[in-house]
Amino acid sequence: MTNARLAFVFPGQGSQQIGMLADAAAEFPEIHTTFSEASDVLGYDLWDLCQNGEQADINLTERTQPLLLTASVALYRAWCARGGVHPARMAGHSLGEWSALVCAGTLAFTDAVHLVQERGRLMQKAVPAGEGAMAAVIGLDDTAVESACAEAAEDEVVAAVNYNSPGQVVIAGSSAAVSRAIEACKTAGAKRAMLLPVSAPFHTELMRPAAEKLAAQIESTEFHAPEIPVIHNVHARPESAPAAIKVLMVEQIYSPVRWTECVQAMVADGTGQLVECGPGKVLAGLAKRIDRSLTCHNIDTPDQFNTALLATAE
């Protein structure tokens, strides 16, 4: 059964925490099963890493990406196993778009684990450590942020890369250019502009080499038309043709995440309830800032999971 007002959204990097999903795993066997599948692909124990490792270990991009994909898919499998209604549409923030595609039936989970591990490795290698940076800008409209980046570039790369919600934009690029853009944003009236603990400038032109290297692996992977529409980061629209989806997933690596537009598109299409399918509450918080009419749920603990099951049932 599908709830026409329900959308599922899947988080990206930054939502990982040591000990995440421990309570959920005690109640939902799908968590351990899904993590075991991923571990077989990765060649190491992913569950042990996220429960007993160090935060620095799971913050390594090539580990963060398969970890968050696995966590989201595990929760969605638990949702379906308990009779949770199907959403009418899905979206994922950056890496989370891969989680959405798996849950929508576009590609096999194990194929996605391999691809996002490689995606993380290539994205980290694309720019030497210390040469790239990302920063969050709070309290400045999109146009002003874009103007500040253009002013600060000086033949280097710096651009708005995550349009997260009105008044919250992430910029990225060469370290020196990002530093100049931070000052330009503050001068333009930003409430805050601060570096993020991320070592690579994701979603900029500096990531194009990584995208080009991943393209061949994406092309050789079997994709299907999604069973549930997925709103894509690149243009905030759904796509049904597998070949077109593959192109978008390559472009996504070096293109801005138009998250505000993605949520607005889902609301325009009838979404009134939103479930964040993954650890943390980042996307639920952003959604409420984008459209206060949305009712948002998180499902990363058993209590929240069961509350959302009841609240979304039609």
* Active site members: 94, 203
Backbone CA torsion sign across 212, 216, 221, 227: positive
Please answer whether residues 87 and 228 qualify as being in contact, where contact means their C-beta atoms are separated by less than 8 angstroms: yes
d(CA 101, CA 112): 9
CA 72 to chain CA centroid, nearest Å: 10
What is the rounded CA–CA span in Å between residue 164 and residue 58? 23
171 φ/ψ angles, rounded to the nearest 5 degrees: -110, 160
What are the b/e assignments for 143-160, b being 16+ CB within 10 Å?
ebbbbbbeebbeeebbbb
